[in-house]
Amino acid sequence: MEKESIEIRSPQFRNRRGVDIYLPDSYAEGRRRYPAVYMQDGQNLSDPSIAFGGNTWRLEDGLKWLAQRGVEPIVIGIHNTEERLSEYSPFPDPRHGGGEGDRYVRFLIDTVKPRIDGAYRTKKDRDSTVIAGSSMGGLISLYAFFRRSETFGLCGAMSPAFWFGRAGLFDVVRKVPFVEGRIYLDTGTREIGRLPFRRANRRNSAGEMYRLLRQRGYVDGVDLRYVVEKDGEHNEAAWGRRLPDALRFLLKTVP
């Protein structure tokens, strides 16, 4: 795996942020194109020196495991900013504010993706394009899947913060026309009811979303996968453990 780091200016937010690109070992061997995985909180993926609390997803290990099973994506890790909560929230929350999610998704689609597609051999179609993240990053990823499905056909929402904005994403999922694609959703048993952001977060909101997605017509093992990790916590180590299986499910039919 080779990692390249660039900086991208966001005209949508008038700021700049780092972006890390992880290329498969086979990338230099030919001219084939690869599926692309756009991940939020990109600084937490592999480098302890910049990761939150020094804890990473150990992305290198996960991508090696996937490559051994014939799955080789290009992973694009978009670093967050001090405005992370606002940028990753589709709706404002009464206690925490926010609500810049649509602008952030435009940044991904109008600025980041064209830059990546122009510089690297990505498959540009929606069926080869994953958007993924954890917590607030999971919230904005599933929102982008439903709101901008012409770009993102695959979504990984890990420990998503569905409670944010009075659970407004549930209304979106109920009302939008059915979106073809594939969704991976998960949580850990040690985070249900224990998240620090909400005193009374005793509901398993990921489980509630899973049931809603089933009602909307998504089928287990076909276009939907829901995982509850025993003893899984709300942290990078847990998400890193689950990421390889998530990407294998999402990319399993991509040639």
Q: 3-state class of 105 per DSSP?
A: helix
- What is the rounded distance in angstroms from the CA atom of residue 44 to the CA atom of residue 52? 6
98 located within any domain: yes
pLDDT score of 69: 94
For 160, phi then psi, to 5°, come to -65, 145
Contact criterion met (CB below 8 Å) for 142 and 160? yes
227 located within any domain: yes
CA angle (49, 115, 26) in 5-degree steps: 70
12 located within any domain: yes
255 located within any domain: no
Q: Tally Cβ neighbours within 10 Å of residue 238.
A: 22
Q: How many domains in the chain?
A: 1
- Greatest alpha-carbon pair distance for the chain in Å reads 53
pLDDT score of 49: 94
State the CATH number of the domain containing residue 79. Answer: 3.40.50.1820
92 located within any domain: yes
Going 60 to 232 to 71 to 32, the CA torsion angle's sign is negative
pLDDT score of 193: 64
Q: How far is CA 158 from CA 56, 71, 137, in A?
A: 15, 20, 8
Beta pairing, strands 224-229 & 15-23 = unpaired
Q: Which helix (H) or strand (E) holds 143?
A: helix 136-147
- How far, in whole angstroms, is CA 232 from its chain's centroid? 18
Q: 3-state class of 106 per DSSP?
A: helix
pLDDT along the chain (255 residues), means of 10: 96 96 95 97 96 94 96 98 96 91 98 98 98 97 98 97 91 96 96 56 79 97 96 95 98 72
Beta pairing, strands 15-23 & 74-78 = antiparallel
- What is the rounded distance in angstroms from the CA atom of residue 195 to the CA atom of residue 134? 13
198 located within any domain: yes
8 — alpha (psi -120 to 50), left (phi > 0) or beta?
Answer: beta
Domain residue limits at 75:
2-250
pLDDT score of 195: 54
Q: How far is CA 7 from CA 123, 160, 192, 197, 226, in A?
A: 22, 27, 36, 31, 34
Extract the tokens encoding 34: 């690869």
For 136, phi then psi, to 5°, come to -60, -35
